[in-house]
Chains A and B, each alone.
Chain A
Amino acid sequence: MSTEQAYRDYVAGNLDRLRRTAYLLCGDWHLADDLTSTVLVKLLRHWKRAAAMEHRDAYVRRMLMSAWLDERRRPWRRESSTDQLPDRTAAAADADRRLDVLSLLAGLPPRRRAVLVLRYFCDLSVEETAQALGCSEGTVKSQAARALESLRAGLEEGDPLWI
């Protein structure tokens, strides 16, 4: 199989998962596509190295986390003033719950949000999460605990999202 074909196969099999993870991190599908594209381009540049890796998914996850944290560090991201509200379409049934979990995640600092997404959506262990974020296991545990505490503070007991 050619190098390019192997890359295409990998992308075809993982694009959806990457987009969803990026969406949970940023809460916007357009930005999620941008983050995913950034990761895929970087992966293409380093494909020879990545193709030989045993834990390629972990490598890609780490690139996604870096891309997301870099994105948040850009100064122009801190401003979001507008004189017109964007139109939002919501599929009625799960919209409230979806907005709930996204708005709760949006209230967290980027690194804590990343910890929750990796632990509860990607189903990673503490050790794997620490590797993906490039920090210690103790940091992951404390960040996760504080993130969950912040989420609980935004919910009432008995809420469907009560953890």
Chain B
Amino acid sequence: MDLTQAMLAATANPPPTGIDVDQLITGERRRTRRLHAVTGVAVAAALAAGMVALPQLLPQKPSGQSPGLAPPSTVAAATRSPAACVTPSPTVKVLPGANVPAEPPLVPVTESCGAAIARLSAELTVLLPRLIPGVTFTNARDGSPLPARFEKVGGQQIGYTAGFNLPGGVMSVRTEAAGDIPAQFRAFAEKECGVPEAKCRPATIGGSELLIRNDVAGGYGIDVWAVRPDGTTLMALTRARDPGRPTPVTEQQLIDLVMTPELTMYP
């Protein structure tokens, strides 16, 4: 008998295997999901840390105003309509859900960019003192006081965003033409929040589907996304300027803001 035959004989009667391919595939899927969730949280934390750190790194304004999210006063001119309709530089993008893939809107947007910016800015200027009373808002773009200044979002999506500096932190609001119906977003939110590491929860309010993520970025931020039946996606976020400090806006105030009918893409 040669070595080959001896080896074949030695393995001639294997016991039944305990390997379950279905279990291997399920386990690998679970591992991948966790990895994605942890990566998402890490990216969100990095973004939030960047948002909080950026204003402090920018130069102090000569007038003594607190530093804003955007540097030089020359930028201020760029925020006024119709220039605000120009897609801004990614360096001044202040928004939650930046990783939402661009999808064509379900409902076509007919309102012009300039008209939408004027309307939304006027609505938000009225809404902010009503929903979040006792807080002084300044536009993140140029440090100017209210009225609010919306501008067009970057990328492929049809939407508008406004960022603010508040005492103790920042806040931004973004409204977009939705690419999903609420039920689709509900499925996404349940999947996204299916792992404990995600620290978020889905919610349904008056036909709108919400994803509420708090304790993001190491415990000093809140994100609220809403897909509403009228075809508008609204996202609002807030971050405390220092880790461990309370956010300048509460979760309920952000929810109230994203549920406001006035901030629609379809007036």
**Which residues of A are at the interface with B, using a C-beta cutoff of 8 A?**
4, 7-8, 11-12, 15-16, 19-20, 23-24, 29, 33, 36-37, 40-41, 44-45, 91, 94, 97-98, 100-102, 116-117, 120-121, 123, 151, 160-161, 163
**Complex: A16 Cα to B14 Cα, angstroms:** 9
Q: In the complex the two chains form, is A33's CB within 8 Å of B25's CB?
A: no
Can you offer 14 A-B residue contacts whose CB atoms are under 8 A?
A7-B25, A8-B21, A19-B14, A24-B10, A33-B19, A40-B19, A41-B27, A45-B28, A98-B9, A100-B6, A120-B4, A121-B11, A123-B4, A160-B6
8 A Cβ contacts from B1-25 to A: 1-4, 6-15, 17-19, 21, 24-25
Smallest beta-carbon distance B13→chain A, Å: 6
Q: Pick the contact of B3: A11, A36, A163 (CB < 8 A).
A: A163
Known: A4-B25, A33-B18, A40-B21. A91 touches B4 (CB 8 A): no
Smallest beta-carbon distance A27→chain B, Å: 9
Q: In the complex the two chains form, is B19's CB within 8 Å of A36's CB?
A: yes
**Complex: A20 Cα to B12 Cα, angstroms:** 9
**Complex: A123 Cα to B25 Cα, angstroms:** 30
Q: In the complex the two chains form, is B24's CB within 8 Å of A121's CB?
A: no
Give the nearest-CB partner of A123 in chain B. B4
**Complex: A4 Cα to B28 Cα, angstroms:** 12
**Complex: A12 Cα to B25 Cα, angstroms:** 14
Q: In the complex the two chains form, is A94's CB within 8 Å of B1's CB?
A: no
Q: Which residues in A have their C-beta under 8 angstroms from that of B8?
A: 121
**Complex: A33 Cα to B17 Cα, angstroms:** 7
Smallest beta-carbon distance B36→chain A, Å: 14
**Which residues of B are at the interface with A, using a C-beta cutoff of 8 A?**
1-4, 6-15, 17-19, 21, 24-25, 27-28
Q: Which residues in A have their C-beta under 8 angstroms from that of B13?
A: 91
Q: Please name 9 further chain A to chain B contacts, defined as beta carbons within 8 Å, in addition to the given A4-B25, A41-B28, A91-B13, sorted by A numbering.
A: A15-B19, A23-B14, A37-B24, A40-B21, A44-B28, A97-B1, A97-B9, A97-B10, A163-B2
Q: Which residues in B have their C-beta under 8 angstroms from that of A7?
A: 25
Known: A44-B28, A94-B9. A116 touches B19 (CB 8 A): no
**Complex: A36 Cα to B19 Cα, angstroms:** 8
Smallest beta-carbon distance A32→chain B, Å: 8
**Complex: A45 Cα to B35 Cα, angstroms:** 13
Q: In the complex the two chains form, is B7's CB within 8 Å of A121's CB?
A: yes
Q: In the complex the two chains form, is B3's CB within 8 Å of A23's CB?
A: no
**Complex: A101 Cα to B4 Cα, angstroms:** 10
Q: Which residues in B have their C-beta under 8 angstroms from that of A94?
A: 9-10, 12
Q: Which residues in B have their C-beta under 8 angstroms from that of A97?
A: 1, 6, 9-10
**Complex: A100 Cα to B181 Cα, angstroms:** 68
Q: Which residues in B have their C-beta under 8 angstroms from that of A163?
A: 2-3
Q: In the complex the two chains form, is A29's CB within 8 Å of B6's CB?
A: no
**Complex: A163 Cα to B2 Cα, angstroms:** 6
Known: A29-B14, A41-B28, A45-B28. A24 touches B7 (CB 8 A): yes
Q: Pick the contact of B7: A8, A15, A29, A117 (CB < 8 A).
A: A117
Q: In the complex the two chains form, is B6's CB within 8 Å of A15's CB?
A: no
Q: In the complex the two chains form, is B9's CB within 8 Å of A120's CB?
A: no
Smallest beta-carbon distance A12→chain B, Å: 8
